[in-house]
Amino acid sequence: MRPFEYASATSVQQAVALLGASWEETEVLAGGSDLLALMKDEIVHPKRLINIKEIGELRGIRSSTEGVRIGALVTLNDLAEDVRIRQSHPALSHAADEAASPQIRNVATLGGNLCQRPRCWYFRGGFGLLGQGAKGESLVVNGDNRYHAILGNEGPAYFVSPSTVAPVLIAYGAKIRLVSPKGPREIPLEKFFRTPRSENEREHDLAPNEILTEVLLPSAAGTKSASYEVRQKDAFDWPYATASVVLRMKGNTVESARIVLGHVAPVPWISREAEESIKSKPINEETAGAAGAAAVAGAKPLTGNRHKVQLAKVAVKRALLEAARA
């Protein structure tokens, strides 16, 4: 690991003032479970780390009639175990509890999970965010791509968005609050993720001198929700595909739906096709299966990840059936 400066901020304003104008200058340190690994592997090498763990205003979960405010420093374990979240947004609690391992959930923060970099082994191996060779050719397309994108993969990005909780938060309609020297701004979480077109871009709508401070989760009263994950083993593993659904029912039929897939595209993938396929219909084996098929109808699997199409289809079906039973 290269030498670096270390500064510890005690307020958001102080942290923002310490950040630089480029990613090469500074990075934000919270739980550190992702950033430190990237630094050790020489993938990123900031000149200064800004520790934000001492900023009290970034902690805590606060409920109101409008919804829930979750500080960026809330750990995944605290999120999974919070009684209020379990009652009001059960799919979020479940998704947080499924993430990584108990050891990581105790240190990994919500903000860090949303801002973590892709787990693509070409990126982690030093071939850049887009996994390209010396001549600009994609190493992913003809290489080992079993975990890579099947949707939104027209290129040049083939990695998948790694956040475990982003899909379910987007399904619930979450917003995030970001703070920079220009002041705060709020955006829908779905707009925070983007597909880079060059190595000069990042996969988040986040400036180098900006900090994600909190997640704003609207009330989920009157909804049914579920999150379903498919991975190779029950122990700590990266998912092949996830599906998060939030349903608003009118009697026995679906009035509106949000269906968001994870680990299948460079961004959390909102399936409007799947949502429309179940509108004004009951949720049963037939309609849930049809929604799963609609969700992957536009999939373009690579040479080694065709299996992810079926897994994503099944994840949507099972998440819908589970939500309907809630």
Residue 91 belongs to some domain of the structure: yes
pLDDT attached to residue 216:
97
Q: Which strands sit side by side in the sheet containing 183-188, from one edge to the other?
A: 61-64, 67-71, 211-218, 175-180, 183-188
Show which of 218, 240, 266 is a domain's final residue. 218
Reported confidence tier of residue 307, pLDDT bands at 50, 70, 90: very high
| H-assigned helices in 214-260 | none
Q: How far is CA 192 from CA 25, 153, 166, 174, 247, in A?
A: 22, 18, 10, 11, 23
Q: In degrees, to the nearest 5, what angle opens at C-alpha 195 toward C-alphas 227 and 93?
A: 20
Reported confidence tier of residue 235, pLDDT bands at 50, 70, 90: low
Asked if 85 and 15 sit in the same domain, the reply is no
Q: Is the pLDDT of residue 104 over 90?
A: no
End-to-end CA distance of the chain: 48
pLDDT attached to residue 33:
87
Asked if 177 and 77 sit in the same domain, the reply is yes
pLDDT attached to residue 105:
85
Q: Is the pLDDT of residue 52 over 70?
A: yes
Show which of 218, 236, 256 is a domain's final residue. 218
Give this prediction's pTM.
0.96
Q: Counting every residue, how long is the chain?
A: 326
pLDDT attached to residue 75:
95
Residue 65: CATH number of its domain: 3.30.465.10
Reported confidence tier of residue 326, pLDDT bands at 50, 70, 90: confident
Residue 194 belongs to some domain of the structure: yes
Residue 132 belongs to some domain of the structure: no
Q: Is 249 helix (H, G, I), strand (E, B) or coil?
A: strand
Asked if 108 and 170 sit in the same domain, the reply is yes
Asked if 174 and 84 sit in the same domain, the reply is yes
* Spatial separation of the C-alpha atoms in residues 178 and 215, rounded to whole Å: 9
Average pLDDT, integer, range 95-120: 89
Asked if 237 and 204 sit in the same domain, the reply is no
- Write down the mean pLDDT value for the chain: 95
- Residue 62 host element (H or E): strand 61-64
Show which of 180, 196, 218 is a domain's final residue. 218
Residue 270 belongs to some domain of the structure: yes
Asked if 199 and 278 sit in the same domain, the reply is no
Residue 151 belongs to some domain of the structure: no
pLDDT, tens digit (0-9, with 9 covering 90-100), for 184-204: 999 999 999 999 999 999 999
Asked if 207 and 296 sit in the same domain, the reply is no
CB neighbour burial string for 31-68, b if at least 16 within 10 angstroms, e if fewer:
bbbbbeebbeeebeebeebbbbbebeebbebebeeebb
Q: Is 74 helix (H, G, I), strand (E, B) or coil?
A: coil
Chain-centre distance of CA 69, in angstroms? 18
Asked if 25 and 107 sit in the same domain, the reply is no
Asked if 248 and 206 sit in the same domain, the reply is no
Q: Is the pLDDT of residue 234 over 80?
A: no
Asked if 261 and 284 sit in the same domain, the reply is yes
Contacts with 53 (C-beta within 8 Å, 6 or more apart), sequence order:
8, 29, 30, 73
> Can you list the positions of beta strands (E) in 93-230?
175-180, 183-188, 211-218, 223-230
Residue 22: CATH number of its domain: 3.30.43.10
What is the extent of the structural domain holding 20?
Answer: 5-54
pLDDT, tens digit (0-9, with 9 covering 90-100), for 244-297: 999 999 999 999 999 999 999 999 999 999 999 999 999 999 999 999 999 999
Asked if 266 and 209 sit in the same domain, the reply is no
Q: Is the pLDDT of residue 110 over 80?
A: yes
* Burial class (CB within 10 angstroms; exposed 0-12, middle 13-18, buried 19+) of 73: buried
pLDDT attached to residue 106:
82
pLDDT attached to residue 87:
94
Parallel, antiparallel or unpaired: strands 48-51 and 5-8: parallel
Asked if 176 and 297 sit in the same domain, the reply is no
pLDDT, tens digit (0-9, with 9 covering 90-100), for 202-230: 999 999 999 999 999 999 999 999 999 99
Number of domains present in the structure of the chain: 3
Reported confidence tier of residue 101, pLDDT bands at 50, 70, 90: confident
Average pLDDT, integer, range 27-52: 94
* Burial class (CB within 10 angstroms; exposed 0-12, middle 13-18, buried 19+) of 95: buried
pLDDT attached to residue 212:
98
Q: For 178, list phi and psi in degrees, rounded to 5.
A: -120, 145
Residue 300: CATH number of its domain: 3.30.390.50
